[in-house]
Amino acid sequence: MPKNDIHPTWYDSTEVYCDGQLVMTTKSTKAKLYVDLWSGNHPFYTGSVKIIDSEGRVERFMKKYNLQK
């Protein structure tokens, strides 16, 4: 015997909010989605990723403790 009404409701225009602002529309089983991060504010996608200069850190350590290479 098949079960009726076991699937969730599908919304074709789900609104996605980040920091109270509508950022995009997608499809989902939820009417509205609230997210903390999305591609518009994530450092990887916005280009604001800070690259750590590991060689500079080693040089500062060596200089700080007066060590030779």
pLDDT values of the chain reduced to their tens digit, one per residue, 69 residues = 778 889 899 999 999 999 899 999 999 999 999 998 888 887 777 777 666 666 677 778 888 888 876
The pair of three-digit structure tokens given for residue 47, joined into one six-digit string: 């280009």
Yes or no: say if 43 and 49 are a contact pair by the CB < 8 Å rule.
yes
Q: What is the model's pLDDT at position 23?
A: 92
Q: What is the model's pLDDT at position 67?
A: 83
Overall pTM surpassing 0.85 (yes/no): no
- Average model confidence (pLDDT) across the chain: 84
Domain ranges for the chain: 11-64
Q: What is the largest CA-CA distance in the chain?
A: 80
Round to whole Å and give the CA distance between 21 and 37: 12
**Displacement of CA 62 from its chain's centroid (Å):** 36
